[in-house]
Chains A and B, each alone.
Chain A
């Protein structure tokens, strides 16, 4: 099997064949999820713990559903309300968890690199559900699956990632993944939210939507991460919407069959016009949510297979 990872911490460590393996398996789970009996026992007997140190409804629900459909015992720990507030460090939390013998640990944390740190200290498979401004690998994988299904391929596409790149882990993971799969990537946004250093990562950087969207196949909008901003990055939401909000006029510059994506939750009227988001001919935003569950099932399945293989080897 060409998936060799112990953890899923970021796209950075995945090879293109591993990405393809994961997406292929996710296709199977899309079919399963659409069938009457949405159940498999791929994770039977395994314990999955979701630890979210940062608020999340959608991602946590998606991981929880993915685990339950695969037959895992799923537990959610709301970390904002727990002992972290009492001064427990991340390492102590990891040691406490080890004693509970989890098999899959799904972690979201507000600091870049925090999930890597945790993964070094626990003896189970760790999935990064978003760490600070660093990576959000399952989001990039579900976006990739959505693109592959809509466009029939995941290479040689022109893809524009638009908006608040600086504060977005979704942008970083997508950038890495789409690069590995040999696509052309444009970053579009105000220069305060698209630092020049991103040009060194092999992207074209635009500060005008009209130029940036010209003839692209995929338009990925990002949420304006107001909660991560300290101070004014944009003059106002209405000026931002005027210059960078996706509406029909700006979308007209893209290829006629371009698809529109958004990782959610959307700020309608800030980065995207409501009618575009709801346009079933252009918007694949709801498909993204569906693919999310399938991709997370595939990721946990593959990691669990590797985990069982390692344990069998250790026991032998």
Chain B
């Protein structure tokens, strides 16, 4: 078992909340030791990290890989390479494919395709109800046996509360984690913008941010009934935060996420109907954005994800209201999040708590840490390196990023999965 020492790095440790110069000793795909202990061990090879930041690899919950059904938009190969390029070492995939991943056979297909093609770890989620139609729960037990790490109908809200109550009760018994999209579906029907001055001026059908609060309130009531393990996939409005805070204080087993787009963009970025900025839920007011950034800093919102949603040019080159929702995000997640660090909103350890540690904890994974014994899933990045994003250079098959031509700061230099380098110029061992 060869030992490798990654030295001269700034270690970003979300568990201890520290960022400090140090070294990491890895062997057999795992972290053996950190700090002075690592340096004394006398490793067989030594890699000089050149003073760059070394953090636990990102665990991205809610990535859409368009297999099965729409491989022309994204495949496990392209999504996996995009993830590696973005410092994402584990992608937790969504079941909103065509057909939906709602039975063990489809899940096995996904697992096989991922194993064949993806250079990063892939953990699949499965649908909560059959065909994501909100009528009957899926085979939660069999799907867990086949490797499903969580259950979700993605952006479809299970409107029948009896169906959801039963699914949550069953999931609770199996210990399954359920992800919910919080939205009052009646209010948000047909909406593609957040109500306010911008939507009024542009003549876009809009939804009040209150629809998200109503979604949270309903789901929290069901969680009080069932005690299920639950994760709100995207909390994006200031109005929803007190409800989330109450649910946590009352001891419910809940966590919350937010997409990087809602943390770094607001409704005005849509500008002249730019469809690459059409996401679900729609981009919010600046006050909402600031409130959710604060909630990430305080830990009220636990997890940041890319909500990677590939769409081809045809589905985006349409009038705004008719265009498909979603944006790719695997490769821009870290540089976009660095905007929050450079703006002084988050520290690097707090950022990686939300990107790596918390999602790992929520899914019961060993990753997301820099402690001895953890898998050597790592990202080495230069937090300051500036660049202008060119969407055609993205490795994702679909290029629908809202950050095209944006000035960004923060580049991934190398990504390691289980100690193996899966992205970046090979780092020379001395």
Contact = CB atoms under 8 A, between A and B. Distances in A.
A200 interface: yes
Given A112-B273, A117-B273, A197 B322 contact: no
B200 A112 contact: no
A113 interface: yes
Contacts of B314: 89
A62 to B, nearest CB: 22
Contacts of A198: 200
A74 interface: no
Contact of A112 (B190, B195, B197, B321): B321
B251 to A, nearest CB: 38
Interface in A101-126: 109, 111-114, 116-117
Interface stretch (B76-84, B201-209, B406-414): B201-209
B199 interface: yes
Contacts of A112: 202-204, 273, 319-321
B41 interface: no
Nearest to B190: A230
Contacts of A111: 319-322
B72 interface: no
Given A89-B314, A195-B195, A200-B196, A117 B201 contact: no
Interface string A73-103: 0000000000000000111000000000000
Nearest to B272: A116
Contacts of B195: 195, 197
Contacts of A89: 314, 317-318
Contacts of A114: 319
Interface in B176-226: 190, 195-197, 199-204
A296 interface: no
Interface stretch (A36-44, A130-138, A140-148, A233-241): A130-138
B319 A200 contact: no
Given A90-B319, A230-B190, A201 B202 contact: no
B19 to A, nearest CB: 42
B199 A197 contact: yes
Contact of A134 (B190, B196, B202): B202
Interface of B: 190, 195-197, 199-204, 272-273, 314, 317-322
B203 A134 contact: yes
30 contacts: A89-B314, A89-B317, A90-B317, A109-B319, A111-B319, A111-B320, A111-B322, A112-B202, A112-B273, A112-B320, A112-B321, A113-B273, A113-B319, A113-B320, A113-B321, A116-B272, A117-B319, A131-B203, A132-B321, A133-B203, A134-B202, A134-B203, A172-B203, A195-B195, A197-B195, A200-B196, A200-B200, A201-B197, A201-B200, A230-B190
Nearest to A117: B319
B317 A172 contact: no
A169 interface: yes
Given A113-B273, A116-B272, A117-B273, A197 B197 contact: yes
B340 to A, nearest CB: 27
Contacts of A109: 319
Given A112-B204, A112-B319, A112-B320, 19 more contacts: A89-B314, A109-B319, A111-B319, A111-B322, A112-B202, A113-B204, A113-B273, A114-B319, A116-B273, A117-B273, A132-B321, A169-B203, A195-B200, A197-B195, A197-B197, A197-B199, A197-B200, A200-B200, A201-B197
A200 B203 contact: no
Give the interface SS of chain B, mostly helix, strand, loop or mixed: loop
Interface in A268-311: none
Nearest to B274: A113
Contacts of B203: 112, 131-135, 169, 172
Contacts of A113: 202, 204, 272-273, 319-321
The 10 closest A-B pairs by CB, nearest first: A113-B273, A133-B203, A111-B319, A134-B203, A114-B319, A112-B203, A197-B200, A200-B197, A113-B320, A197-B196
A198 B190 CA distance: 20
Contacts of B317: 89-91, 117
Contacts of B320: 111-113
Nearest to B313: A91
Contacts of B204: 112-113, 133
B237 to A, nearest CB: 16
Contacts of A91: 317
A133 B195 CA distance: 14
A201 B198 CA distance: 9
Nearest to B197: A200
Contacts of B190: 230
* Most chain B beta carbons < 10 A, residue from A89, A112, A200: A112
Contacts of A201: 197, 200-201
Nearest to A113: B273
Contacts of B197: 197, 200-201
A133 B202 CA distance: 8
A167 to B, nearest CB: 9
B195, B196, B201, B318 — which one has the most chain A CB atoms within 10 A of its CB? B201
Nearest to B314: A89
A231 B195 CA distance: 18
Most interface-central of B272, B318, B319, B322 (chain A CB within 10 A):
B319
A197 B203 CA distance: 12
B272 A90 contact: no
Interface in A30-75: none
Interface centre among A111, A135, A200 (most CB of B within 10 A): A111
A231 to B, nearest CB: 9
B322 to A, nearest CB: 6
Contacts of A169: 203
A111 B190 CA distance: 13
Contacts of B201: 12, 172, 201
Contacts of B322: 111
A198 B320 CA distance: 21
B405 to A, nearest CB: 16
A197 B317 CA distance: 29
Contacts of B199: 197
